[in-house]
Amino acid sequence: MRLFVTVLLIVVMASLVYKSKTPENHQINKIKSDHKTSSYSSHDRATQAPFPKGEPDPTVAISLGKLKSPNAILIRLKDHAILMQKNSEEKIYPASLTKIMTAIVAIENLPDLNEEITLTNSVFRGLYEADASMAGFEPGERVKAIDLLYGAILPSGAEASIGLADRIAGSEENFVKMMNQKTAELGMKHTHFANATGLQNENHFTTVKDLAILLTYALQNDTFREIFTSSHHLTAPTNKHTRGITLYSTLFKELNNPNLMDGEILGGKTGYTDEAGLCLASLAKVGKQEYVLITAGANGNHHTEQYNITDALAVYNSIQE
């Protein structure tokens, strides 16, 4: 009997020690916490992170194989939990999603958003030849900094981006150094920028996971959020446009209806080059929560169906809280 009791006590104690070393709940899968996560094939189901006790556990009821975008990541904005990812650490070209970084670096380094910035002839050099997206400003135009920010994000204006870069850093080259410094500060370990516009360059690359880190950070800035969620913006009168220019979001121009089954798409930034494919960084509210979705690499162009947008609608509509 004594031997039996002794053995029983040993078993109980061993069990208690084991439990004390085993966490009761897994930690939330934060965006920046694990860059060792393997990429997912197009046949994988959406992967979901565990949630803290008491939090609703939303289901993302969509097969990753149905997405047209080969790279995607869905984040719950409140706690940066990853709800779904597909090849999220695979190298991609960001195209005009680059301007998210351009805008937030500019906002953080402009002392006065109402300051007038003159767009010199050098700002436009090579942009038309590269078929870059333009906001509609002209050489010699004096434009408020805030209007250049709207010009960079809504119609994806390359001249607005270069104008901001020149004003802040003296040149695009110096401004890009500031962009790459910001990537290091944010922990975007697989990103390197070579320009402020997103024009194709082999040394200009990122991942959708890194872009999710960037966008969740930028959305904490009230000025950035206001611009990012605007469908259009009328600039102040200038010496070239006495009535101002109405700038339209490239996302909302293609999005006939921002409404979702249980919410709406609040804003976003599109991107496209031949090498990058159709890309989209977007913000949506579903139920009571806000979500960020980054997709990249979808086939098509400006003249085809916008699969980056149809993917966003499909993903957001699949969230079941």
User: Which residues are tagged catalytic?
Assistant: 96, 99, 156
Give yes or no for a contact between 181 and 201, defined as CB atoms under 8 angstroms apart: no
* Strand-pair partners of 72: 86, 295
- The alpha carbon of 227 is separated from its chain's Cα centroid by a whole number of angstroms, namely 14
Tell me how far apart the alpha carbons of residues 106 and 114 are, in angstroms, rounded to a whole number.
13
- The alpha carbon of 102 is separated from its chain's Cα centroid by a whole number of angstroms, namely 12
Among residues 43, 69, 67, the alpha carbon closest in space to that of 299 is found at 69
In sequence order, which residues have a C-beta less than 8 Å from that of residue 89 and are 6 or more positions away? Answer: 35, 37, 39, 190, 207, 209
Among residues 262, 260, 273, 280, the alpha carbon closest in space to that of 300 is found at 273
Tell me how far apart the alpha carbons of residues 225 and 109 are, in angstroms, rounded to a whole number.
17
The sheet carrying 289-298 orders its strands as: 81-86, 71-76, 289-298, 277-286, 263-273, 259-260
